[in-house]
Amino acid sequence: MKKTKTVCFVTAAACLLLGGPVAAKTVKVGVVLTFSGGAAEFGQQVERGMNLYLQQHGAELGEHEIELIKRDSKRPGGDVAKTAVRELITREGVDLLAGFIFSPNAIASAPLVTQGKVPMIIMNAGTAWIPQLSPYIARVSFTMWQAGQPMGQYAKAKLGCTTAASGYTDYPPGKDSIAAFKTGFEGAGGKVIDEIPMGGPREVPDFTPFFQRVKDAKPDCLYVFVPAGNHAAAMVKTFADLGLRDAGIKLIGPGDIMPDNKLQAMGDDALGMVTTFHYSADYDTPENRAFVKAWKEAYGQDTTPDFMGVAGWDGMAAIVHVIRTLDGNIDADKAMEALKGWSFASPRGPIHIDAETRDIVHDQHVQRVVRKGDRLAVEVMETIPQVKDPCKQLKIGKCGE
Ligand code: PHB
């Protein structure tokens, strides 16, 4: 049941003059995030970003309101998320869906949003071809190819790597990420000598056997994709403990392997790592400084937003944009039209939704971890402006369908 209030805050005469009272709508947004288990901190980041945006910009909704109906997708396998999405659409009658940390959760839910005609705003899941699964999907986060392919090019051209091995968490974004890296690296003249599946996204594996294999193969670079969070922290520790760093192998990857909220705890093990990414809390821009300051004021000085927090902020900005554009009357096709081409001054820099692919376009930065006084910091070495998803640009695999 949709709640409709009829209010008019100006005088009756002015109301008549303006064509009648304003119909205030409550827009129901189903939020599907991972709130429990080892990946609970991912859900918390996105949720905090969403809430912070509403706290600071909720007034832009005018008389309209947002009701967030939250569901825990629990694990990355897709089943729990799909059940939650079905229930949000059929029982709760949500106008919009948002969230989705793990790619399989977005992939499993895609047919339901097509059938139910409910726009889905993806705030993390990074497998490149996800928006192609439904005309009702738009993504504000990132694609694995936006980081992987430029990282491959940079590793050959600027890091002096001629051979590389890849290690990846064995599910869609991991496969996407190493394919992107290989395309960039081999396209620039390098050679990928090994590609090592390193377990799934649900449990953090012991990385020792995988990295021993890398150490024995002696590549110049090791490109790794693991989900941010506990996977990334354990991976960086094993890389250092096993002596790969001391053996001169360069650890590179998408920024998922050095998320801001894990960086200080990684300590000196993280030094020298090079990644390509669209966000760090250390970016020194007015928008990012204001965002990080507001985050720390809201959630504690010892907390740090990372790329998932920013995606929550930006995703909520997109939702507010849709509600304002449609004056609270959410129609799925009109909402998608409003999202296509939407641009925004994000804490990460300028972003927009590509009208053709409904995917995010943003700057990519090649960056490394350095020590600054008593803390680790992210230093940008190079910026590639306004990167569209290379997988869809090049029409590779499922991106070409
Ligand atoms: C994904 O499942 O798409 C995913 C999860 C965690 C990440 C990146 C991508 O850090």
Nearest CA to ligand 1 atom 2: 102
Split at pLDDT 50, 70, 90, the class of 36 is very high
Euclidean distance between CA atoms 140 and 346, whole angstroms: 10
CB 201 within 8 A of CB 42: no
CA of 14 to the centre of ligand 1 (A): 51
Distances (CA, A) of 59 to 64, 195, 287, 290, 324: 9, 50, 19, 18, 11
Alpha helices in 58-201 (DSSP H): 79-90, 103-116, 144-157, 172-187
pTM: 0.94
Query: Across residues 232-246, what is the average pLDDT?
Result: 96
CA nearest 175: which of 206, 151, 148, 139?
Answer: 148
Atom of ligand 1 nearest to the CA of 229: 10
- The per-residue pLDDT for range 164-192, each reduced to its tens digit, is 999 999 999 999 999 999 999 999 999 99
- The per-residue pLDDT for range 360-383, each reduced to its tens digit, is 999 999 999 999 999 999 999 999
- The per-residue pLDDT for range 89-130, each reduced to its tens digit, is 999 999 999 999 999 999 999 999 999 999 999 999 999 999
The residue to which tokens 């985050």 are assigned: 295
Count of Cβ atoms closer than 10 Å to residue 307 Cβ: 26
Euclidean distance between CA atoms 125 and 143, whole angstroms: 8
| Strand extents, DSSP E, 198-326 | 221-225, 250-254, 274-277
Ligand 1, from 100, 103, 133, 279: best to mutate by most atoms within 8 Å of Cβ?
103
Confirm or reject: Cβ of 228 under 6 Å from ligand 1.
yes
Confirm or reject: Cβ of 126 under 6 Å from ligand 1.
yes
- The per-residue pLDDT for range 295-337, each reduced to its tens digit, is 999 999 999 999 999 999 999 999 999 999 999 999 999 999 9
